[in-house]
Structure 1
Amino acid sequence: MRLKDKVAIVTGAGRGLGLGIAEKLAKEGAKVVIADVSPAADAVEKIQKNGGCASFFVANVANQEDVQNLVKYTVDTYGTLDIMVNNAGINRDGMLHKMSVENWQMVIDIDLTGTFYGTQEALKYMREKNEGRIINISSGSWLGNLGQGNYAAAKAGVVGLTKTAARESARKGITCNVICPGFIETDMTLKLKEVNDGAAWASMEQRIPMGYAGKPEDVGNMVAFLASDEASYITAEVVNVGGGMIV
């Protein structure tokens, strides 16, 4: 229970990776606000059945007012905000010479600008109390990846944004770190098992030195550590959680 009585927001936590992160934080004792673009009653119920404390707030992270209201709801409901996990993201893959402006902008708006809004609003509150943890979810794709020019640009932006936030906030007792998941089992990636009789999935696993895809809880474990007092002297770091896939 490293996070007992701490209050956390996890964006994009209605399912998949975000839900895995929220579940881990709740198991460690945190009160978790699950933010997503649609009601996440099932996610809240799952956490509560396991003895955790959770609620949900409907928010589009690409909308600044929604994010402002999310932070206000959290502080009004639980009295504080200790941990901000900016996880919400989408991908709209395509080769650069074929990519539509709409798909470029949509990914930038949610993956990068949404992370900016979440980081900014959390910092406004955390700087007043001289304490806090901001953990932003990037991706191994920030180093560049075929067919993901928009996603790679957004996730690289998340790294730069977080390092800047860390430098600006360190004297205020706030740590800001980035986690880069590798190939993780989520609703999105599991669709690859249906491509070419699973050949696409097998190809991805062959790129992982450990030989298998990670699970959301693998990322959740790192989030919980970085959110804890044990990581109080760690900031501005980029941590890969990918079984050796990200070099």
Structure 2
Amino acid sequence: MRTVKKLESKVAVVTGAAQGIGAAITKRLMEDGADVVVALDLNLEQLEATAKELDAAGKQVVAKKCNVADKEEVAKVFGEIMDEYGKVDILVNNAGITRDAMFHKMSQEQWDQIISVNLSSLYNTCKVVVPKMREQNYGKIVNISSTSAWGNAGQTNYAATKAGVLGFTRSLAKELGGKNVTVNAIAPGLIETAMTKAMPEHISSMALMLCPLARMGQPEEIASVASFLASDDSSFVTGDCIQVSGGFLMA
């Protein structure tokens, strides 16, 4: 007897999918049966390598270059996705960057870059996807925030965007609940990615001391929660934020 996978017949889009958490989420959605997972990233070469590794046949994971901070490019790429697949059932807004600096040394460019990539990108992608989800009376939006949303020295720009992700998530969830569209967030703690490997050792060591599980998380541990929120297993969950931080935050 054939087992139906929980994301069967679904079309998913994952931003920032070339590596780390985004690549792990793409892999998990693929494994959980999504008909197609469109992986977006600005680094097309790395993205295509990831997509090929996940799906050598190129039938289930599709790589597309996209600068999610550019609303015109987002509209173009998502238009292509809609034309090709007819819908987007699942949107995972994962793309994000850091430009850390103490506030008195932070440049306008460091501020603007973080705002455009980490926060304005949600407006850009959702602006295209939400009308279709409302029309089809179904959708799952998962936004990646961070425990930095609760404040972190040297990250006023990053923390502001990740706190903004939470406000955006809750507000959009209230607007779309009547249309059977859920909107949720995940707040990862210290996860072993290229981004965290670039952190000064004394900073990461200090963070680990505050983590009850006393280790870094793995991208796959974020991906499993993202898959839950992208599936009908989470049908009565919306406007929420799941902290996946090894107990770093307990609030």
- Provide the TM-score with structure 2 as the length reference: 0.93
Aligned to 1:89: 96
Aligned to 1:117: 124
Q: Which runs of 5+ in 1 are unaligned?
A: none
Aligned to 1:223: 226
Q: Which stretch shifts more, 111-120 or 211-220? A: 111-120
Aligned to 1:211: 214
Shift of 1:151: 0.4
Q: Distance in 1 between matches of 2:204 and 2:183?
A: 33
Q: 1:1-247 alignment to 2 at 5 Å?
A: 1-30=5-34, 31-39=36-44, 40-49=47-56, 53-192=60-199, 195=200, 198-247=201-250
Secondary structure of the corresponding residue to residue 29 of structure 2: helix
Identical pairs, percent: 40
Shift of 1:73: 1.9
Q: Is the 8 A contact 1:27 1:52 kept in 2?
A: no
Q: Which stretch shifts more, 118-127 or 199-208? A: 199-208
Per-residue CA shift, 1:176-221, capped at 9, x if unaligned?
00110000010111234xx5xx554433322211111001110100
Per-residue CA shift, 1:61-115, capped at 9, x if unaligned?
1111111122222222223210000010111011111110110011001100011
- Provide the TM-score with structure 1 as the length reference: 0.94
Q: Is the 8 A contact 1:29 1:52 kept in 2?
A: no
Q: Is the 8 A contact 2:67 2:74 kept in 1?
A: yes
Q: Is the 8 A contact 2:12 2:91 kept in 1?
A: yes
Secondary structure of the corresponding residue to residue 198 of structure 2: helix
Q: Distance in 2 between matches of 1:14 and 1:64?
A: 20
Shift of 1:49: 4.1
CA RMSD of aligned residues (A): 1.5
Q: Which runs of 5+ in 2 are unaligned?
A: none
Residue type of the partner of 1:33?
V
